[in-house]
Chains A and B, each alone.
Chain A
Amino acid sequence: MFASPILAVRHLNVWYGNRQVLGDVTLDFAPHHITALIGASGSGKSTFLRSVNRMLDTIPIARVEGEIFFQQHNILQEDTDVIALRRSIGMVFQNPTPFPKSIFDNVAYGLEIQGIGHPRRPWWTSRHRSSTKFEHSHHPLDIAVMRSLKEAALWDEVKDRLHHSAFRLSGGQQQRLCIARALAVQPSVLLLDEPCSELDPISTRHIEQTLLRLREHLTIVIVTHNLHQARRIADTTCFFHAGSILEHGPTQTLFTTPRESLTHDYVHGHFG
C-alpha cells in the first residue's frame, strides 16, 4: 500500500492481569496519513494507543508482548528511551487536560522540562506582554509557543491573554491548547484519544480542520466514536472488535463496501 510505514505494529498482545485486551494486532501506519481507530467501547482502541507511546508502563498490571517498530527500533524493548519516544510520539486525551498554569506556561512546559529556560523578566514587571512584542521575540521558547499555538489554530484567540489561566478557556479552546502543548515538542506522530467526544460541533470542526492541516508534517492516529468524524478526516480506518483488528483499509472502502458483516453492522449503527 505504501513504501515505508512510520509505525509498524507486529503481533501486539496486551493483558491486564489475566484478561487479554488486545490479541495479535498487526498494523502499519503510513506517514502523513490520518488513521482513525473505530470500534465499540472496550474493544481495545485506547489500550492500543497507549501501547504506542509506552503509557501502559504506568499501569502496573499491564503486560505487553509483540513488536512496535518506530524509526527502525522496536520500542517495546526494555532499553528504549521512553522519554525520547514520548517526545516523538505525542498524545492528546479525551478530556481537555490543561495544567493549572497560564496558557503560555502550558504550551512551554514540554520545552521547559527539556531545559529551555524562560525568557528572563524581573518578577515585578507585569506578566502581560503584547502580542506584537511577542511576535518579535527571538527567544526560542517564545518562538516555539507561538508556532505551536498557530499550528493548533488557537493563536488569534489567545495572543493577547497568554498570561491568563488555561482554565479560563472554553472546552474546545482547552483541547486545542492541549494539541498545541503536544506540538510544542515537535513530535512526528500524534495520538489522539477521542479528542472531540466532550466538545460541541463547532469546536469539533475547528479541531478536525486543525488535524487536516497538521497532516502536512505529522502522522495522526485518532480514536473516535464519531463515525462521521472518521469519514470526514481519516485516510485509513481500522475497525477494532473485541481486542483485535477486524478490518482496516481506506476510509471510503471501509465505510461503503466493508468485507466483514460486523463492520457493516457497526458503520451502519446496528451496534456499538
Chain B
Amino acid sequence: MRLAQRFHERLAIGCCRMSALLTVSMLAAVLLLLIFSGFRVMNLHFLTANWQHMDIAQGGIFPALFGSIALGIGVITVSFPLGLATAVFLTEYRPHALWKRTVQLAIRNLAGVPSVVYGLFGLAVFVQTLAFGMSLLAAILTLSIMTLPWVITAAIEALEAVPLHFRESSLVLGSTHLQTTWHIVLPAALPGSITGGIIGVARALGETAPLILVGATFYLSHLPRSLLDPFMALPYHTFILATQHSSPVAAAYAAGTALVLFGLTVLLCSGAILARFWFRKKKDW
C-alpha cells in the first residue's frame, strides 16, 4: 500500500515534470531552428538594405522592419489611450452594473475573436467604408482594436491595485473626482498599464492574417510616405518568402526575417519586464 502510493506520487510528479520539459524543449527547438537556418543571412546589410525582388541575396528587409516598427508605434498610440480611458471609466467611475457587465462581456469576447475576423472588419470598415484604402492607417486601426482587450485588461488590473486610501486621501483635501483620477490614481497605475500595452503590441506585431487584408504588401519600391500608403511587414514577408518565392535561398531568408520579428518581440517584452521592474523598485506602498 505504502509502496503503491509512493509509486503513484512519483508517476504524477514525473508526468508533470515531463510536460514542463516538453514545453521548454519546444521553445528551445523553435528558437534553435530559427537561429540555425536564419543566422546565415543575418548581417547589417540584411537589416538595413532595401528589398530586391529579383535577387533577394542582394537586398535586405529594411522596408518590412520599418513597416512593423511603424505599425507598433501606431498601435500603441491608438490603443493605449483608448484602453486606458475605458479602464478608468470602468474602475473609477463605477458605471451602472449593467453597463459594466456589458463592457466586460464585450472585452472578453473581443479577446477571443480570431484575428482574421478583425482583418475582415478592417477591410470592410477602414479600407472600404472609410476609404483609407490598403494602408498603414487601416492596419494600425485594425490591430489597435485587436489589442484593445489586452490593454484594457492590464489597465483595469493596474487601476484596481491602486489602494483605496490614495483616492480617499485626495478627496478629503477637496479635490474633484477627475483631479484624483488624473493626479493620484493614473500615475500609480501607469506602469502596470504600460507593460500591458507593450505586451499587447508585441503580440499584434506577429499577426499576419489581418495585415494581408488591410494593407501589407510584399513588394514596395519605397517606404510608405504617409499613413495612407501600403507598407511591408515582417510576418507577411516571412510568409511570402516561405511559401511563394522561387529563389533557392528564400527559405533561409524567411527564417532570417522570422528571427528579426522574434527579436523585436523579445525586445519589446523584455522592455516591458524591465519597465515593470524599474517601476516596482520605485513604488513602495
Say yes or no: A93 contacts B169, CB within 8 Å.
yes
Contact A87 B166 (CB under 8 A): no
Contact, CB under 8 Å: B165 / A110: no
Q: State the Cβ distance, B95 to closest chain A Cβ, in Å.
A: 12
Tell me which of A58, A83, A99, A167 contacts B174 (CB under 8 A). A83
User: Contacts A100-B283, A109-B183, A167-B285 known; A91 to B174 CB distance under 8 Å?
Assistant: no
A109 and B172: CB pair below 8 A?
A: no
Q: Which residues of A contact B284 (CB under 8 A)?
A: 100, 165, 167
A109 touches B283 (CB 8 A): no
Whether A90 sits at the interface, judged by CB under 8 Å, is yes
Contact A110 B166, CB 8 Å, known A100-B285, A165-B284, A167-B285: no
Question: Is the CB of B48 closer than 8 A to any CB of chain A?
Answer: no
| A209 is an interface residue with CB less than 8 A from chain B | no
* Residues of chain B at the chain A interface (Cβ within 8 Å): 94, 165-166, 168-176, 179, 183-184, 187-188, 283-285
Q: Contacting B171 at CB < 8 Å: which of A55, A114, A182?
A: A55
**How far, in whole Å, are A178 and B169 apart by their CA atoms in the complex?**
9
Q: In the complex the two chains form, what is the Cα distance from A21 to B259 in whole Å?
A: 65
Residues of A near B285 (CB, < 8 A) are 100, 167
Q: How far is the CA of A86 from the CA of B170 in the complex (A)?
A: 10
Interface: A197 (CB within 8 A): no
Cα-based distance from A109 to B180 in the complex (angstroms): 10
Contact across chains for B172 and A182 when beta carbons are under 8 A apart: yes
**Alpha-carbon distance between A53 and B94 when the two chains are bound, in angstroms:** 21
Q: How far apart are B184's CB and chain A's nearest CB, in angstroms?
A: 6
Closest chain A CB from B112 CB (angstroms): 32
Any B CB within 8 A of the CB of A3: no
Q: Which residues of B contact A93 (CB under 8 A)?
A: 165, 168-169
A110 touches B173 (CB 8 A): yes
Count residues on chain A whose CB falls below 8 Å from chain B CBs: 27
A93 to B175, CA, bound (A): 16
Chain A to chain B contacts (Cβ below 8 Å), 14 pairs: A53-B172, A55-B171, A83-B175, A84-B174, A86-B174, A93-B169, A95-B165, A97-B169, A100-B284, A109-B183, A113-B183, A181-B173, A182-B172, A185-B174
- Residues in A whose Cβ lies below 8 Å from that of B170: 99, 109
Give me 14 other A-B pairs in contact (C-beta within 8 A), A100-B187, A109-B173 excluded.
A84-B174, A87-B173, A87-B174, A91-B172, A93-B165, A93-B168, A93-B169, A97-B169, A100-B285, A109-B170, A110-B173, A113-B173, A167-B285, A182-B173
Q: Which residue of B lies closest to A82 (CB)?
A: B174
Q: A99-B184, A100-B284, A165-B284 are in contact. Are A55 and B168 (CB under 8 A)?
A: yes
Task: Decide if A113 touches B179 in the complex (CB within 8 Å).
Answer: yes
Which among B174, B176, B188 is the interface contact of A110 at CB below 8 angstroms?
Answer: B174
Whether A97 contacts B166 by the Cβ 8 Å rule is yes
Residues of A near B176 (CB, < 8 A) are 83, 113
A109 to B179, CA, bound (A): 10
Q: Which of chain B's residues have a CB closer than 8 A to the CB of A178?
A: 169
Q: With a CB–CB cut-off of 8 A, which chain A residues contact B172? A: 53, 55, 86, 90-91, 182
Residues from chain A with Cβ under 8 Å of B283 in the complex: 100
Least distance between A57 CB and chain B CB atoms (Å) = 9
A91–B285 alpha-carbon span in the complex (Å): 20
Tell me the bound Cα distance from A89 to B193 in angstroms: 35
Q: Using CB atoms, name the residue of chain A closest to B165.
A: A97
Within 8 A of B (CB), among A67-83: 83
Question: Which of B174, B175, B188 touches A100 (beta carbons < 8 Å)?
Answer: B188
Cα A9 to Cα B171 in complex, Å, equals 22
- A124-162 contacts to B, CB under 8 A, are none
CB proximity of B161 to chain A, nearest CB, Å: 12
How far is it, in angstroms, between the C-alpha of A185 and the C-alpha of B188 when the chains are bound? 23
CB atoms of A113 and B166 under 8 A apart: no
A97 in complex: contacting residue of B168, B175, B188, CB < 8 Å: B168
Docked complex Cα distance between A171 and B284 (Å): 13
Q: Which residues of B contact A185 (CB under 8 A)?
A: 173-174
A53–B168 alpha-carbon span in the complex (Å): 12
The 4 closest A-B pairs by CB, nearest first: A87-B174, A110-B173, A91-B172, A86-B174
Of the listed residues A86, A87, A113, A165, the one surrounded by the most CB atoms of chain B closer than 10 A to its CB is: A113
Complexed CA–CA distance, A185 and B172 (Å): 11
Residues of A within 8 A of B179 (CB): 113
Closest B residue by C-beta to A94: B165
Please indicate the chain A residues that have their CB under 8 angstroms from the CB of B175 in the complex.
83, 109-110, 113
Q: Given the known inter-chain contacts A113-B179, A113-B183, A167-B284, please indicate yes or no for A99 contacting B171, CB distance below 8 A.
A: no
